[in-house]
Chains A and B, each alone.
Chain A
């Protein structure tokens, strides 16, 4: 592996955590804006714990609840994650159990909920909620929601890989060992996309003549 590539990996993952948080915040802000919604929030899957983690909220909501965990396969969010299908529910207050669950993560009881999975390639990364949209729902909006969730998932997937690489680099002071471990992350299903990411970083960071 070239010195340039090593530098590119090291530079590319710097600040990945801040970027990750900024991207998540941007996702919920944009989702809220697209649908003129009262709030939007995102839960990401923690694969090791097999739980969904409340990561970001825009609009009305309780930021203090960020970090809250819920089961990964029950309730509305769990159904959406497992089935990989979006769900749109109105009159949510008629479902006291779930209204309470949602309220606990947003600080208020919404009437309407759109919940969509964040999918990238084979992976399900989490779910995005849009609460109390302004307009009457149409199937066109469902498609828009799906397209937006797709775009958000692509960005999140890239940043999550960078975060993992950062964690690996942080674990080891030896650059060669660290690079080997980063390279090992590129095996399996992620290999092609990972190589492209590293290639792009190399292109960006290579000194221009």
Chain B
């Protein structure tokens, strides 16, 4: 009989040794184990947002910056972005990630600027491109209420999950149905009111899974400036930065394992040890 496994989704008999995990998990998982001494080095983080202000001192060098252009028939085109940030929000997210994981590699995918009518195709096209690039972490503070996009977003979120790309998405601040943050294959984030950027909590009442710092946060903004801001969209890059720290130390973690690490190191579970 061939030693090659059959092309099926079951575990062939006697091949348990192939499933050894590359990481030895400690009996009690601590923050020190999870990201002690990590700077997020070489972890590739994508900010899917309004663009990033080039050369902002709180963001530093970018790995790349592209913009999504919506063509006729809702086709999209990905081009190098020379516009920078059309709002300030993407720069803010990038600065939060950089502060937590100083040696990670940040890229910008700008999905804003195509008009409101082009925003749905731009979001889908930008996310699809980002998933294809194999980023380690994709930070998205965007959501859509259009049910017609939910199916495609769900597929993209699952594709990312199985390709070991962690999608970190803002939960909605308002009582409306929106996507993709509600999907279980993403890490969804809401806000808490505490000022510590490394404090986060697991929420035992989903769909929001984690709460991170999102109130009165000082962030990078346009033209090298700074502002104070509030919202779930700023809690999200805090979790993205923490993901980058963990992946900087444990590159082999799958999104499921990474989520487990976040759970076990949450303030209300492992107590932030």
Binding site for B on A (CB under 8 A): 45, 47, 50, 71-76, 78-79, 81-92, 94-98, 116-117, 119, 121-124, 137-139, 142-143, 146-147, 149-150
Contacts and interface: CB of A to CB of B under 8 A. Distances in A.
B27 interface: no
B215 interface: yes
A106 B231 CA distance: 24
A89 B228 contact: yes
Given A95-B225, A95-B227, A142-B230, A116 B87 contact: no
Given A97-B223, A116-B174, 7 more contacts: A75-B87, A82-B142, A84-B144, A97-B222, A117-B174, A139-B192, A142-B231
Nearest to B145: A122
A138 B193 contact: yes
B83 to A, nearest CB: 9
B143 A83 contact: yes
Given A90-B216, A94-B226, A95-B88, A85 B115 contact: no
A139 B214 contact: yes
B193 A124 contact: no
B50 interface: yes
Given A87-B89, A139-B214, A147 B228 contact: no
A4 B145 CA distance: 36
The prevalent SS among residues of B at the interface is loop
A147 B175 contact: yes
Interface in B222-260: 222-223, 225-233
A146 B191 CA distance: 14
Most buried by B among A90, A91, A94, A139: A139
Given A75-B87, A88-B230, A123 B145 contact: yes
Most buried by A among B50, B143, B178, B223: B50
Interface in B86-125: 86-89, 112-119
Nearest to B225: A94
Given A95-B88, A122-B146, A83 B233 contact: yes
A79 B227 CA distance: 16
Interface string B142-178: 1111110000000000000000000000101111101
A150 B232 CA distance: 18
A146 B175 contact: yes
Contacts of B191: 139, 142
B30 to A, nearest CB: 29
B231 A137 contact: no
B176 A88 contact: no
Contact of A73 (B114, B176, B228): B114
B39 interface: no
B66 to A, nearest CB: 17
A55 B114 CA distance: 23
Contacts of B266: none
B221 interface: yes
Contacts of B87: 74-76, 78-79
Contact of B116 (A50, A90, A95, A146): A50
B116 A82 contact: yes
A87 B146 CA distance: 20
Given A50-B117, A138-B215, A86 B144 contact: no
